[in-house]
Amino acid sequence: MPERRNRMYFFYKHDDELMKRVQPLVNLAKEYGFVVVDDHTKANVIVSIGDDGSFLQAVRQTGFRDDCLYAGISTLSSRGFYCDFQIEDTEHMVQAASSEQIEVRRYPIIEVTIDNAASFFCLNECSIRSGIIKTFVMDVFIDDLHFETFRGDGMIVATPTGSTAYNKSVNGAVVDPLLPCIQVSELASLNNNRYRTLGSSFILSGKRKLTLKISPEGNHYPLIGMDNEALSIRHIEKIDIALSNRVIKTVRLKDNSFWEKVKRTFL
Ligand code: NAP
Ligand code: MN
């Protein structure tokens, strides 16, 4: 029998105003038989309260756990991409909490390996950007095939759920999260008779590996972003990016499919 998901951890910024708004949710959770824990490692439901940026942080700071369910509650006036609930709209929360069979959505995440050693996960995207005014150069490999030499501002490698974020701002495609894949988009590539890149975004199957080898030319290292966090490692030569075999599980609600969110947000 599957373990009952009844140990809940609330992730939020502990300021006075938000604490007041969170208290009724804590009471509601208890009313519905949840034990509210203050150590996230003991929880099997992790609830983020804030905006989509907070949800990204909640997942990151709790270690991208595969064995628990994440839920996002928006403190803004509307729901978000990761926030399936709005803080005042407790009706939907009660519905989800009281249903015997919660439907679970699985979001693909990417795994980034730096110099064959440290690895990190991203739920939205991994971004690599020049940290200086000059362009920077990197060699792009797909499954060890040298694909192109990139020169420009940088690149974004996005998950399907991240495709509506940074990736979309640079004209990347919006990708259905039911497709396990990664999308690579350029940031201001130089294209002329000396430098050539594909120029459009491309989508790789979840079985492929993307490798970026950063040219030591000029000894300038780029800024690496993992969702909304900057990586503190500076001297990097090689970055491998692939889809992880882990997923992030969230509650699936009836009236809130990915395409409903896209329509609600952009159209
Ligand atoms: P932020 O700078 O406050 O966020 C930018 C906006 O992106 C916010 O409105 C945020 O929503 C929204 N967002 C986050 N994830 C999204 C998703 N999966 N689909 C659609 N919209 C999404 O920083 P943040 O709130 O910490 O979010 C971090 C993300 O911002 C990064 O992962 C990156 O994707 C994105 N970003 C975008 C640009 C750009 O478009 N030029 C530049 C840098 C970073 P909320 O208001 O609900 O948080
Ligand atoms: Mn935000």
Query: Is 67 known to be catalytic?
Result: no
Which residue's alpha carbon is at the smallest distance from atom 27 of ligand 1? 53
Non-local CB neighbours of 133 within 8 Å, separated by 6+ positions: none
Confidence of residue 219 (pLDDT cuts 50, 70, 90): low
Cα(158) to centroid(ligand 1), Å: 12
Q: Give the start-to-end residue ranges of the domains of the chain.
A: 7-100, 109-245
pLDDT of residue 115: 95
The structure tokens listed for 2 are: 């599957």
Cα(27) to centroid(ligand 1), Å: 31
pLDDT digits (tens, 9 = 90+) for 145-183: 999 999 999 999 999 999 999 999 999 999 999 999 999
CATH number, span 7-100: 3.40.50.10330
Quote the Cα angle for 18-55-166, to 5°: 125
Confidence of residue 218 (pLDDT cuts 50, 70, 90): low
Exactly one of 15, 38, 51, 52 is catalytic; which is it? 52
Confidence of residue 76 (pLDDT cuts 50, 70, 90): very high
Question: Would you say residue 98 has pLDDT above 90?
Answer: no
Question: Would you say residue 233 has pLDDT above 90?
Answer: no
DSSP three-state, residue 201:
coil
CATH number, span 109-245: 2.60.200.30
Question: Would you say residue 1 has pLDDT above 60?
Answer: no
Distance CA 170, CA 32 (A): 44
Is the CB–ligand 1 distance for residue 225 below 6 Å?
no
Distance CA 140, CA 172 (A): 18
How many helices, marked H, and strands, marked E, lie in the chain?
Answer: 5, 16
pLDDT of residue 255: 83
Q: Which of 16-25, 164-173, 248-257 has the lowest average pLDDT?
A: 248-257
pLDDT of residue 33: 92
**Backbone region of residue 55 per phi and psi (left: phi > 0; alpha: psi in -120 to 50; beta: other values):** alpha
Burial of residue 205 (number of CB atoms within 10 Å: 0-12, 13-18, 19+)? exposed
CA distances from residue 62 to 30, 133, 248, 267 in whole angstroms, order as listed: 22, 35, 12, 33
Question: Mean of the pLDDT values across residues 62-79?
Answer: 96
Ligand nearest to the CA of 57: 1
pTM (2 decimals)?
0.96
The structure tokens listed for 47 are: 């609830």
Which residue's alpha carbon is at the smallest distance from atom 28 of ligand 1? 228
Question: Mean of the pLDDT values across residues 102-124?
Answer: 95
Confidence of residue 197 (pLDDT cuts 50, 70, 90): very high
Element (H, E) at 258: helix 258-266
Is the CB–ligand 1 distance for residue 153 below 6 Å?
no
Q: How many CB atoms lie within 10 A of CB 194?
A: 8
Non-local CB neighbours of 73 within 8 Å, separated by 6+ positions: 25, 47, 48, 49, 50, 83, 85, 86, 87, 93
Eight-state DSSP code of residue 226: E
Distance CA 185, CA 17 (A): 39
Percent of the chain with pLDDT over 90: 83
Non-local CB neighbours of 65 within 8 Å, separated by 6+ positions: 46
